[in-house]
Structure 1
Amino acid sequence: MLPTAKTILDGQALKVTKVNSVTGEVSVNVRKGRIRQIFDLTMELTCMYEKRDVEARITDFMSDMDYDDFEFTMTGVAAKVRDALKKTVWETLVEFRKEVEQVHGKSLLVEGPQTPASADSEKSKFNNSFVDKKEKSPSAVGTIEERVEFSAPMEQVWLCLTDVPRIMAWTRGTASLSSVEPGAPFSLLGGNITGRVTELATGLIKMDWRLRHWPSELVSTVEIKLSNGGSGTVLKMKQVGVPSAELDSVKENWHRYYWEPIKTVLGCASAVF
């Protein structure tokens, strides 16, 4: 969406040509039957004016912000150039807010009052789903295999799995990691999930993965593969070494805490990019 933001100033085209990075948090939920957007985004952009590239930055663009508080800076240009593009970029981001609600909000609406899940409540629900499990070595383990389709380009799905700011967005800030590379440890959902990346190649991630309540010697292995599939991306996941008694609950939590939040973040990101 942002690379379509353009205007004309003194006969010269002035436009955004590339979104270099987006950091921050995006979520859409429902409260008392109404759609609520919560996001706080900082973006680094490349723009073009007088046939040269100009760097620009949007700082802390928030869901409830108005134009007077909108912070947009450009390097090496006059104030009138910045102000001209600032207005166009603002109008584009306002459309982004509307699109987020239209595309992702309707699927969240259900009858009756709803309360949005905070990061703390999400961690609590995850923890409670295993509250009756006892820490002892399982007598049998099994395998989970998933095939998930995302209506987003493969490179965007890949970023959601490997780019730390994106991971922080779909985990609602409950992740702890500094990088995604072979040997790098990770912790998600307040430490309920921990592990280590063991292999990383284009479209492929392998990792050791365990739940907090599992016996210390029990570690499952996860392999995630991405491929282009029609108009989107196909993700195939195979997890080996899950206690047989927990296969259903672990599979459900992959959907609740991985696939669905990633789809929400992907939808918001595709509107920005």
Structure 2
Amino acid sequence: MVKKDEGCCEITEVSKIDGEASANNRKAKLIFFYEWEIKAEWSGKLTDGKSKFKGTMEIPNLSDENDPEDLDIQITTKSKNDDAYKLKEILRVNGTEKIQQQLGQYIKKLKEEYSQGMILPTAKDGEVVKPVNKTTNKNTVSQKASTSSILSKVDVGQLDIGVKIRTKTLKLKEEFKCQAVDLYRALTERERVQAFTRGPVENQAEPGANFTYFGGNVAGQFINVEPYKTIQQKWRFKHWPTGHYSEVTLSLEEKADCTQLNLEQTGIPEQDYEKTQEGWMKYYWLPIKQTFGYGASLF
């Protein structure tokens, strides 16, 4: 928030962040590339006024080609009103430098966080020594910076320019005509997962292990597993914002004639709520029943 005697303004929402950042090691020299286009919404009120006015803030040129103090901060108002114009000027005059300074901190954080372990030491004979456990291509290591994880750490005083994603929680129940041990195996054993997803998968049901289904369109990591009872995962669609995961908890409750699966999924981007809900039925529950016969009666 920017406060002056005349009035105050605040950023209310980050409506758009497009771009990417990468750190590359070329011939033992670390090179950064980043280019972002940021758009946010602001609102404000004059001290002696009753009405609130709104507008937008755009940063079209956050890139490695510009120093922070050279960044163009475009602030506009949605109203053709003298009070709205005064508020816009309060934000422009008093907020621009703060925003530039904090985006400078973003650049610093980017370089610090994503350069760890990327400088390749040089052997005595001049040959580059490749680091262990790094994917290399012609002695080049590349890491993509996460929009949500990096920019969400940047605060402009009280001006929050973090990534805000509206999310929802999904709760589902489904009955399978099998014992809990059978359903658990269908959800965790690689060969069985591969059978109902109809394609290659990466899957190892143990805490910290990654999984990838449906050609990479669904991916995540196992958080915890309790055999035949509970499976917890970090879970995401490929097109979700980089670094954003939902959390899935699958609980198995064995009954006399079936096993009831209770699903709770938190952190689903609002616009993908229905797609996610339909996806569990279309790509998980129905194929599992069809593949293993768990839709038929036990007796």
Which has the greater radius of gyration? 2
Give the TM-score normalised by the residue count of structure 1. Answer: 0.47
- Larger fraction in helix: 1
